[in-house]
A and B are shown apart, each in its own frame.
Chain A
Amino acid sequence: AQSVSQHNHHVILSEAASLELGCNYSYGGTVNLFWYVQYPGQHLQLLLKYFSGDPLVKGIKGFEAEFIKSKFSFNLRKPSVQWSDTAEYFCAVYNTNAGKSTFGDGTTLTVKP
């Protein structure tokens, strides 16, 4: 069965620090990869996505992610976080054969002002 692992359960950073959140998935077939953000009390918002092509994808709000196929990874990065980035971040993998998304457990990011 497909699984998605997010290594960091809770990350605490100061403003302007750099961020990297890990995501690994288990499925070896064709996948599409996503990072979502969920601000407190709000719904899921798409940060960025990877379908094919350049493995370094840029998303909204200065986020980017790199797909490394050999490592089954899709880590999320931001060079300088802001207090407003405090939220829950979910990595998700869409399995084209199964026709559904599998989400990671999520990483809670707290940015201290």
Chain B
Amino acid sequence: EPEVTQTPSHQVTQMGQEVILRCVPISNHLYFYWYRQILGQKVEFLVSFYNNEISEKSEIFDDQFSVERPDGSNFTLKIRSTKLEDSAMYFCASRGPLRAYNEQFFGPGTRLTVL
């Protein structure tokens, strides 16, 4: 069964550094998402992406964040100048081509630790 993959599984970085989290969505999916889960808290929506542009973003998704689909298969989340409070699990998700099928398939997550 096709699945969403994410790399790395765990990223440790120093405060102020830039990180890029990578996701490979399911191949025929057209809608892509990033969610965040701070330890012990709920999963929060960050951004959705369709047709090479952001379709929706939360108030969390400020200028520090950016997303890109650089090569037609990867979907990346870039966090510039990381802060301690960016430490969280970041989940990528993708959704199929038909609007009627609104199930998001989540990846295993990348645990980001900012020191």
Contact = CB atoms under 8 A, between A and B. Distances in A.
A94 interface: yes
Looking at chain A, what size class is its interface with the partner chain? 20 to 34
A103 B42 contact: yes
A96 to B, nearest CB: 6
Contacts of A68: none
B96 interface: no
A44 interface: yes
B42 A94 contact: no
Contact of A100 (B33, B106, B107): B33
A100 B45 contact: yes
Chain A, interface SS category: strand
A32 B103 contact: yes
A96 B102 contact: yes
B1 to A, nearest CB: 12
Nearest to A106: B42
B91 A99 contact: no
Contact of B102 (A36, A51, A102): A51
A34 B55 CA distance: 22
Contacts of B44: 103
Interface residues of B, number: 23
B42 A104 contact: yes
Contact of A102 (B31, B45, B48, B91): B45
B91 A43 contact: yes
A100 B42 contact: no
B27 interface: no
Nearest to A45: B106
A105 interface: yes
Interface in B85-114: 89, 91, 93, 99, 102-104, 106-109
A34 B35 CA distance: 16
Interface string A82-102: 000000001010101011111
Given A36-B106, A103-B43, 13 more contacts: A32-B103, A34-B103, A42-B108, A43-B106, A44-B43, A99-B31, A100-B45, A100-B48, A100-B56, A101-B93, A103-B44, A105-B42, A106-B42
